[in-house]
Structure 1
Amino acid sequence: MPKISNKGLEMPQSPIRKLVPFAEAAKKAGKHVFHLNIGQPDIASPAVALDAIKKIDRSVIEYSHSAGFESYRSGLSAYYKRNNLDISKEDIIVTTGGSEALTFGFMTCFNPGDEVIIPEPFYANYNGFAKTAGIKIVPVTAKIEEGFALPPVADFQKLITEKTKGIVICNPGNPTGYLYSQSELEQLRDIVKNNDLYLFADEVYREFCYDGATPFSVMSLNGIEENTVLIDSVSKRYSMCGARIGALISKNKEVMSTALKFAQARLSPPTLAQIASEAALNTPQSYFDDVIEEYVERRDITVDGLNSIEGVFCPKPKGAFYCIAKLPIDSSDKFCQWLLESFDLDGNTVMMAPASGFYATPGLGKDEVRIAYVLEKEALKKAVKCIEEALKVYPGRTTK
């Protein structure tokens, strides 16, 4: 029988989805599962986007330009300029989700064997994109006790070798919800500039900043315009995860012309989804105001509820819709599986993502879980109560 490739065998499994079989079995057993494991918002997509799909009047669903429809790229440029980012349509390649943008960017900027530094915990699928491009992730650890703030510059410096070619961040962050300050990003700028590295910034959660906080984009950093690559997506911004439309953005013309060759090889991003995404650019500000108000309430229910449980610590995030909680347990992998297999409270149980899968350093995150507070408020209250009661009877509870 033919063998599977080494790359295929080494491709990591998603920690966000690996417990799906246990969740399916729990449902078949009659349990209701609160899904806190995945960032799939229940917020309605903007009406303007849905209406655009309903009103499509085309006789052919044709290819677009490999960089995406010019009208959409022009609309994106206007969106960024409204956010004080001087990005032209020539600086944008529309991609099949932010995932493809990262993959194209990695393959454009790095050679197999190159190393990129990423603050951990980080979005687990970065592992898959790095494996696809043949590059190695070198983690620099952010600490839960410090709210997952940017690690000290010295921690970055000691990891830089001749193989180091880039730094990757997510801001606001998945899985932590941490929002980097302008000062922290300027520290990164200096590291990037002094070592001639690429700086990749995944800013897909830009609209979700709380408590009066505002995002500061890497595209606003002076002096590293040629080093900076921005990743964006409609998935979370407009609750359009299934549209699979993202963007790769850079002022570096060589990066963009090279990335376009990868884009040409896959022909074009999805036509129908681009139509919806272009229409979504006309989403009124009131939509985001309502969504942010809703997420703040959901965050407070979740995080304050978790912190009221004995032995639990959860920093309050200022962005995105995720948090990481430290629990008094022996293993988050075991606990999350046990919740689905062996526990329910009045027929309810909870599915979470073990945080160990968001760390690259072995052993870290083993007593932490990532929670996506994307359910309506009453469901979140019940989910937190499930976790509280589960911890009282979990066989692997620790005393810390």
Structure 2
Amino acid sequence: MPKISNKGLEMPESPIRKLVPFAEAASKKGRKIYQLNIGQPDIKTPEAALDAVRNHNIEVLSYSHSAGFDSYREKLAGYYQKSSLPVNKEDIIITTGGSEALLFAMGSITDPGDEVIIPEPFYANYNGFATASGVKIRAIQSSIDNNFALPPISEFEKLISEKTKAIVLCNPGNPTGYLYTKDEVQQLADLALKHDLFIISDEVYREFAYEGAEHHSIMSIPELAENAIMVDSVSKRYSMCGARIGCLVSKNTEVIATAMKFAQARLSPPTFAQIASEAALDTPQSYFDDVIEQYTFRRNLLVDGLEKIEGVKVAKPKGAFYCIAELPIEDADDFAKWLLEDFEDDNETIMVAPAAGFYSTPNTGKNQVRIAYVLKKENLERAIEILEKALKQYKLQK
């Protein structure tokens, strides 16, 4: 029998989606599941985006330019310029989601055996992207005790070798919700310049900053122009996860030229989704004001509720819409499966994402879960209630 590749065997499962079969089985039993495991917003997609697709009179659904529609890139550059980022349309390649932008970035700047440094916990699919690219992740642990703030720069410097090509950052963070300060971003920029490294900054949650906090983009540092690669997406900003439209942004012309070869190899990003994404850029600020108000409320509701549960420790996020909670258990994977297979409260249960999959260091985060606060008030309150009851019952059974 032909053999599967080592790369394929080493590809990690998604900690967010690997429990889906258990959830499907629970649903077939008639059980209601409150999904805290995935960042699928319930906020409505802007009507402008939906109308642009509904009302379009396309007769031939054709390819676009490999870099994406010229009109969309021009308009997107204008969006960044409003945030004082010096981005022009020539600096942008439209991608099939932020995921493809990350793969293009890794493919453009690394070779098999190279290394990237990432503060952990980090977006779980970075593990998969690194495996697909033949790249090794060198992780630096951040701590729930200080809300997962940037670890000391000295710890990054210890890991830098001739194989190091980049530092990867998610700002605001998924799964932690940590929003890096201007000083922290500058420290990383200074380190990248000192050692001639790239910084890949995943900024797909850039609109989600709470309590007046400001998002500081890696693209805002002029001296880092040749070293900075930004990844972005419409998925969360406009509640358009299914559109699968993202972008790679860099002032480095060699990076863009190289990434374009990857873009040409996959032909083009999806046409209808680009139409919707371009129209979404007309979304008024009032939409975002309402969204931020809603998520701030949900965050406070979740964090306050979790802090009242005995033995639970939670980091308070300042951005995105996730938090990491440390539970009074030993194995969150086992607990998450048990919630779906064996537990119910009035025929209801919850689905969480075990946090170990958001680390690359083995046996780390085993008692932690990522929770996405994307549910409306009454559902979030019920989910917290279920979690408290489940923890008590789980400990009795174990």
For residues 192 and 217 of structure 2, the distance between their equivalents in structure 1, rounded to whole angstroms, comes to 15
For residues 331 and 56 of structure 2, the distance between their equivalents in structure 1, rounded to whole angstroms, comes to 50
For residues 132 and 90 of structure 2, the distance between their equivalents in structure 1, rounded to whole angstroms, comes to 26
Distance 1:278 1:396, change over 3 A: farther
Gaps of 5+ in 1: none
Q: Indicate the residue corresponding to 2:80 in structure 1.
A: 80
Distance 1:397 1:70, change over 3 A: farther
For residues 58 and 215 of structure 1, the distance between their equivalents in structure 2, rounded to whole angstroms, comes to 38
State the AA in 2 paired with 1:334: D
Q: Indicate the residue corresponding to 1:175 in structure 2.
A: 175
Q: Is this contact kept in 2: 1:330–1:397, CA < 8 A?
A: no
3-state SS of 2:213 partner? coil
Mapping for residues 352-391 of structure 1, pairs under 5 Å: 352-391=352-391
Q: Indicate the residue corresponding to 1:185 in structure 2.
A: 185
The offset of 1:26, in angstroms, is 1.2
The offset of 1:397, in angstroms, is 8.6
Mapping for residues 151-162 of structure 1, pairs under 5 Å: 151-162=151-162
State the AA in 1 paired with 2:254: E
Mapping for residues 318-397 of structure 1, pairs under 5 Å: 318-395=318-395
Distance 1:93 1:397, change over 3 A: farther
The offset of 1:222, in angstroms, is 3.1
Q: Indicate the residue corresponding to 1:128 in structure 2.
A: 128
3-state SS of 1:158 partner? helix
Mapping for residues 128-277 of structure 1, pairs under 5 Å: 128-277=128-277
Cα deviation digits, residues 282-330 of structure 1 (max 9, x gap): 0011111111111111111111100111111111100000000011001
State the AA in 2 paired with 1:324: I
For residues 86 and 159 of structure 2, the distance between their equivalents in structure 1, rounded to whole angstroms, comes to 32
State the AA in 1 paired with 2:380: L
3-state SS of 1:175 partner? coil
Distance 1:113 1:342, change over 3 A: same
For residues 62 and 127 of structure 1, the distance between their equivalents in structure 2, rounded to whole angstroms, comes to 34
State the AA in 1 paired with 2:168: V
State the AA in 1 paired with 2:126: Y
For residues 2 and 255 of structure 2, the distance between their equivalents in structure 1, rounded to whole angstroms, comes to 37
The offset of 1:31, in angstroms, is 1.2
The offset of 1:346, in angstroms, is 1.5
For residues 372 and 256 of structure 2, the distance between their equivalents in structure 1, rounded to whole angstroms, comes to 33
For residues 48 and 224 of structure 1, the distance between their equivalents in structure 2, rounded to whole angstroms, comes to 35
Cα deviation digits, residues 231-277 of structure 1 (max 9, x gap): 00000000000000000000000000011011001110001100000
For residues 340 and 272 of structure 2, the distance between their equivalents in structure 1, rounded to whole angstroms, comes to 37
For residues 222 and 82 of structure 2, the distance between their equivalents in structure 1, rounded to whole angstroms, comes to 19
- Check if 1:295 corresponds to 2:295: yes
Q: Indicate the residue corresponding to 1:16 in structure 2.
A: 16
State the AA in 2 paired with 1:107: G
Distance 1:362 1:78, change over 3 A: same
Cα deviation digits, residues 116-170 of structure 1 (max 9, x gap): 0000000000111111111111100000111000000111111111111110000
State the AA in 1 paired with 2:15: P
For residues 376 and 388 of structure 1, the distance between their equivalents in structure 2, rounded to whole angstroms, comes to 19
Q: Indicate the residue corresponding to 1:119 in structure 2.
A: 119
State the AA in 1 paired with 2:156: F
3-state SS of 2:222 partner? coil
- Check if 1:89 corresponds to 2:89: yes
State the AA in 1 paired with 2:316: K
Q: Indicate the residue corresponding to 1:317 in structure 2.
A: 317
For residues 338 and 34 of structure 1, the distance between their equivalents in structure 2, rounded to whole angstroms, comes to 15
For residues 223 and 207 of structure 1, the distance between their equivalents in structure 2, rounded to whole angstroms, comes to 24
Aligned-pair Cα RMSD in Å: 1.0
State the AA in 1 paired with 2:210: Y
Gaps of 5+ in 2: none
State the AA in 2 paired with 1:273: A
Cα deviation digits, residues 103-123 of structure 1 (max 9, x gap): 011000111100000000000
For residues 393 and 2 of structure 1, the distance between their equivalents in structure 2, rounded to whole angstroms, comes to 46
Cα deviation digits, residues 326-373 of structure 1 (max 9, x gap): 110011111111111111111111100000110111111011000011
The offset of 1:396, in angstroms, is 7.3
Q: Is this contact kept in 2: 1:329–1:397, CA < 8 A?
A: no
Give the ranges of 4+ consecutive aligned residues of structure 1 lying more than 6 Å apart after TM superposition: none
For residues 377 and 397 of structure 1, the distance between their equivalents in structure 2, rounded to whole angstroms, comes to 30
- % of aligned pairs identical? 64
Q: Is this contact kept in 2: 1:329–1:396, CA < 8 A?
A: no
State the AA in 2 paired with 1:265: A
State the AA in 2 paired with 1:259: A
Matched length: 398
Cα deviation digits, residues 170-209 of structure 1 (max 9, x gap): 0000000000000001110111011110100000001111
3-state SS of 1:78 partner? helix
State the AA in 1 paired with 2:271: T
The offset of 1:395, in angstroms, is 3.3
3-state SS of 1:102 partner? helix
